[in-house]
Amino acid sequence: MAKINAADKMVQVMEAWGIDNVYGLPGDSVDTTVEALYRERDKITFTHVRHEEVAALAAASHAKLTGQVGVCLSIGGPGAIHMLNGLYDAKMDHVPVVAIIGQVQSQLLNTGYFQEVDTPKLCDDVAVFNRLVVSPQTLPEVMDEAIRMAYLHKGVAVLTIPDNVPDNKIEDSFHPTAELFHESHPAINPEDVDRALAMIHAAKKPVAFFGVGSRGAQAEAKEFVEKYSLPFIQTMPAKGTIDDDHPNALGQIGKLGTKPAYEAMFDADLLILVGTDYPYAPYLNGKIPAIQIEIDPTHIGKRHQVEVGMVADAKDALTLLNSRGEHIPETAWLKACQENMKTWRKWMKDVTTKSHQGVLPSRAFSKMSDIAPDNTVWSVDVGTATAFGARFITAKSTQKYIISAWLGTMGCALPGAIASKISMPDRPVYAICGDGAFSMVMQDFVTAVKYQLPMVVVVLNNHLLAFIKYEQQSAGQQNYGIDLADIDFAKFAEACGGIGVNVSTDQEFDAAIEKYRNPDRPVLINCASTDEAPLPGKIVWDDAEGYMKFGMGYMREQFRIPEMPPLREIMRQFL
């Protein structure tokens, strides 16, 4: 039988599964694998980043954007440890990622050798599949299984490969299973469909709540809310599954959501959960009956007691619900929710016009949303950017919107933008970050320059961990440890070979965002931004008590009243 290098056969398996890019850094314990990627460089691109965390975050972002497995690579020891943050992002957002981790040569294992770390043990919690490969002959088979398990369990598969293992000749006998792999969907019980329809028709005030599990059912979800006259809420990572400006849309719920969504949730008499494991149970009305559509049976009833639980793919379930039920004409409940949302949108428009100095974040996000093409990819960081993205970006179903939803890791936007431009090169890409988040990964702006990835990176630079500031205040705590030294990010961008622009007024921001609608290389807009409070959509009593406690403590220490958001904003979101 013909012989082949084990590393080359492993790469062929990756090709068979449609993998065309690997993010990572080379190094001694993984160089044999990198050499194999070099030999197949016309089929699989190796994107060399500057930090392993960025490699893993980019791989996770690739999976979020495309549904296809993302791949990252690093040496063992310090490289593997660096990758963990991005791997946990993939785990917690339930997307398929394969991590290839190098290791000292097999004869040196367990000797306490230089950079030897027990990576299978290190990755035990993050991985759905976790193997130390010790046989060259099984390497292709284990890679094939790793990819299959990442898809099947929507999680992270980790391969730890001692560097001498791939550098051996093996029999070329293994056939990848990519063409044989098909994800099956559970059969839907027709009685559950009929029971759900009966509940929808009987309800006076139903509300639908969509999560990322409904992203593959955009058309069906839109038909569902229109056919049954349902006001609907979308989780943050599901934002844009149905257009944010749809007449029935109520935005998000929770601290970063809208007041109409909060009020509809607690005035409703039926909750329809579609593809969501939304964790903030206090924002769900636990006193009303619920229907849940969820592909993972362990999530049925996890956050809310349900009367009808359908273990099903959202597309399949919504297709049946749409085909079997009778149309419900527009109801007084829906009209009331729509009027409530119109008032909210007027309030948000008012927010963007308040008196201020510098660049006002709410206005900047609105401007970007207004000019962004219909195929834009939004990569939004964690912090105040998350809040303003939720409120002031009107996402379309034709756009992509990615965040670090469950891990909530700062620094996710730039790696997300890099992955966006590599996987979807014809789409315009906006990365929106705070200065704290961007500074965590800023070295990889040069990666975007190196690979000629035209994108716009907006940095809200207020010299502050602003989201933490308001978290502390709402908890009644004094602000401490949140100030950031200023960085001229525009100069940094230019030093990397990109375009850097400093803006300090709304007008300068408008001019910059218009000028670089179609950049030919990476652009960084460094905004001297106003410290604008990302107030909760609905200020509950606990928040109000916390702010009062903070204010009293501040006055005792500083002998003056602290700067606060406009009273009008506070009162209308509290009452």
Pick the closest to residue 538 from 256, 115, 310 (CA basis). 256
pLDDT(426) > 70: yes
pLDDT(153) > 90: yes
Write out pLDDT tens, residues 335-365: 999 999 999 999 999 999 988 999 999 999 9
Q: Are residues 335 and 425 in the same domain?
A: no
Strands (E), 189-307: 206-210, 232-234, 270-274, 290-294
Domain for residue 345, yes or no? no
Q: Write the CATH number for 439.
A: 3.40.50.970
Q: Are residues 328 and 407 in the same domain?
A: no
Per-residue confidence (pLDDT) for residue 258, from 0 to 100: 93
Q: Locate 40 and state its tokens.
A: 């197949």
pLDDT(90) > 80: yes
pLDDT(140) > 70: yes
Q: How confident is the model at residue 564 (pLDDT cuts 50, 70, 90)?
A: low
Rounded to whole angstroms, how far apart are CA atoms 31 and 509? 45
In the chain, % of residues over pLDDT 70: 93
Given 339, 365, 383, the domain boundary residue is: 339
Lowest mean pLDDT among 74-83, 445-454, 516-525, 560-569: 560-569
Rounded to whole angstroms, how far apart are CA atoms 445 and 433? 13
Write out pLDDT tens, residues 28-40: 999 999 999 999 9
Q: Are residues 381 and 433 in the same domain?
A: yes
Per-residue confidence (pLDDT) for residue 215, from 0 to 100: 95
b/e per residue 78-98 (b: at least 16 CB within 10 A):
ebbebbbbbbbbbbbbbbbbb
Per-residue confidence (pLDDT) for residue 104, from 0 to 100: 86
Residue 411 near residue 278, CB atoms below 8 Å: no
Q: How confident is the model at residue 428 (pLDDT cuts 50, 70, 90)?
A: very high
Rounded to whole angstroms, how far apart are CA atoms 392 and 410? 20
Per-residue confidence (pLDDT) for residue 105, from 0 to 100: 85
Rounded to whole angstroms, how far apart are CA atoms 402 and 171? 42
Domain for residue 306, yes or no? yes
The upper half-sphere exposure of residue 87, i.e. CA atoms within 13 Å in the direction of its Cβ, equals 30
Name the residue range of residue 8's domain.
Answer: 3-180
Per the structure, how many domains does the chain have? 3
Rounded to whole angstroms, how far apart are CA atoms 21 and 15? 10
Q: Are residues 326 and 402 in the same domain?
A: no
Q: Write the CATH number for 197.
A: 3.40.50.1220
Higher pLDDT, 282 or 151: 151
Domain for residue 174, yes or no? yes
pLDDT(551) > 90: no
Per-residue confidence (pLDDT) for residue 574, from 0 to 100: 52
Q: Are residues 412 and 485 in the same domain?
A: yes
Rounded to whole angstroms, how far apart are CA atoms 46 and 31? 12
Residue 56 near residue 90, CB atoms below 8 Å: yes
pLDDT(547) > 60: no
Q: Sheet holding 97-103: strands in order across?
A: 45-48, 21-24, 70-74, 97-103, 156-162, 127-132
Mean pLDDT in residue range 207-232: 97
Domain for residue 479, yes or no? yes
Q: What is the chain's mean pLDDT, rounded?
A: 92
Q: Are residues 105 and 236 in the same domain?
A: no
Domain for residue 143, yes or no? yes
Tokens 């400093």 correspond to what residue?
502
Q: Are residues 83 and 142 in the same domain?
A: yes
pLDDT(276) > 90: yes
Q: Sheet holding 400-402: strands in order across?
A: 400-402, 377-380, 429-434, 456-461, 523-528, 499-503
Q: How far is CA 233 from CA 221, 241, 245, 272, in A?
A: 12, 10, 12, 10
Rounded to a whole number, what is the largest CA-CA distance in the chain? Answer: 85
Mean pLDDT in residue range 279-304: 93
Write out pLDDT tens, residues 434-486: 999 999 999 999 999 999 999 999 999 999 888 888 778 777 888 888 999 99
Q: Are residues 314 and 451 in the same domain?
A: no
What's the pTM value of the predicted model, to 2 decimals? 0.92
Given 148, 180, 212, the domain boundary residue is: 180
Q: Locate 275 and state its tokens.
A: 């593809």
pLDDT(181) > 80: yes
Which residues are CB-contacts of 2 (< 8 A; sequence separation ≥ 6)? 171, 172
Per-residue confidence (pLDDT) for residue 68, from 0 to 100: 97
Q: Are residues 331 and 370 in the same domain?
A: no
Q: Are residues 226 and 332 in the same domain?
A: yes
Per-residue confidence (pLDDT) for residue 475, from 0 to 100: 75
Given 488, 503, 528, the domain boundary residue is: 528
Q: Are residues 132 and 212 in the same domain?
A: no
Which residues are CB-contacts of 471 (< 8 A; sequence separation ≥ 6)? none
Q: Are residues 175 and 217 in the same domain?
A: no
Lowest mean pLDDT among 108-122, 166-180, 509-523: 108-122
pLDDT(126) > 70: yes
Q: Locate 490 and state its tokens.
A: 């525009």
Domain for residue 413, yes or no? yes
Rounded to whole angstroms, how far apart are CA atoms 448 and 451? 5
Q: Locate 373 and state its tokens.
A: 């093409």
Domain for residue 571, yes or no? no
Domain for residue 559, yes or no? no
